[in-house]
Amino acid sequence: MKEISTDRAPQAIGPYSQAIDAGDKIFTSGVIPVDPATGETVGETAQEQARQVFTNLKALLSDAGSGIDKVIKTVVFIKNMDDFAKINEVYAEFFSKPYPARSCVEVARLPKDVLIEVEAIAEK
């Protein structure tokens, strides 16, 4: 097991790793819509924030020796289920068939009060 750390994705804001290389798979922690260079939240709408999340996730997976095209499972946490369709539009910009397996849940609150957080499992 090996820790993955990159400055091209938001830094961990607690005692956890950005991702873990577990041999043939990469497991990411939750990725939020934060600009890795400034630490500031990007976007005010669910779509803007989702685009930043998937941009960050793509960079993290790339630096881990994987890629967004190798994602097999995602878990999407959203603040408001009314944003589900808007987030799906952005999701489809980053993923293609066969789409990863996915869970999506509405939660009361996310770190930094963002609207979306995504974790992923990818093949290496």
Q: Known catalytic residues?
A: 104
3-state secondary structure of 106: strand
Give the bridge partners for 75, in sequence order: 103, 119
The rounded distance, in Å, linking the Cα atoms of 27 and 32 is 15
Residue 27: name the closest of 4, 48, 56 by CA: 4
Q: Give how far Cα 94 sits from Cα of 2, 22, 69, 81, 111, Å.
A: 26, 24, 8, 20, 23
